[in-house]
Amino acid sequence: MNIRFSETGHLELINPSHAEVVFDMIDNNREHLKEWLTFVDAMQNMEIMHNFINGCMSRNESGIEYGYIIFDNSVAVGRNTIHKVDMRNRSAEIGYWLIPSAQSKGLITNSTKALLKFAFSELDLNRIEIRCGEGNIKSQKIPEKFGFHREGIMRDGEFLNGSFHNLIINSLLKSDYFSTHPRLRT
């Protein structure tokens, strides 16, 4: 299932045809991506990428993840994912990343808006979390734009680049989202 989020941007559910382009995005932007993403150093070859995509597809099929590739003008530029879907508690997390050349174009904002609508309307989730590194100012702007509530800091919540880092936990409830974005109900 693809989701169009702007005139030039769309999301494609990850599949084997994305293996090479996703690997290239990671491989060509390692220094940038590994500052805030734990998986970058482990993604060393196409076999690992294929295993990763197979895992994503399995989680997509079981409904515990909806992992998308972000495209702008038909070029893959990043990922935006609803993951850790918990249907019992009707909650999930959203995570995202972009290659440097695609930043500051509204791609994460617009694709996240589309995923929030999908999560609250189609999946009928009640709560979405976004966790950001305490020092990742760019990432923190996304939950702020959508009125997420900053719940607190998960001390040493992530082991990244040889040391622990704090994570900011942000949440948005369905009722809060639709009260500030009523036209998205339909």
Q: Name the token pair of 47.
A: 């076999």
Using CA atoms, how far residue 48 sits from 22, 41, 45, in Å, is 12, 11, 6
Give the range of the structural domain holding residue 153, as residue numbers without chain letter: 2-185
pLDDT tens track, the chain, 186 positions: 799 999 999 999 999 999 999 999 999 999 999 989 889 989 999 999 999 999 999 999 999 999 999 999 999 999 999 999 999 999 999 999 999 999 999 999 999 999 999 999 999 999 999 999 999 999 999 999 999 999 999 999 999 889 999 999 999 999 998 887 655 554
Whole-number Å distance between alpha carbons of 131 and 144 = 12
Strand partners, 12: 2, 69
pTM summary value: 0.91
Under 8 Å between Cβ of 79 and 71: no
Residue 180 sits in a domain whose CATH number is 3.40.630.30
- As for how many domains the chain has, the answer is 1
Total length of the chain: 186
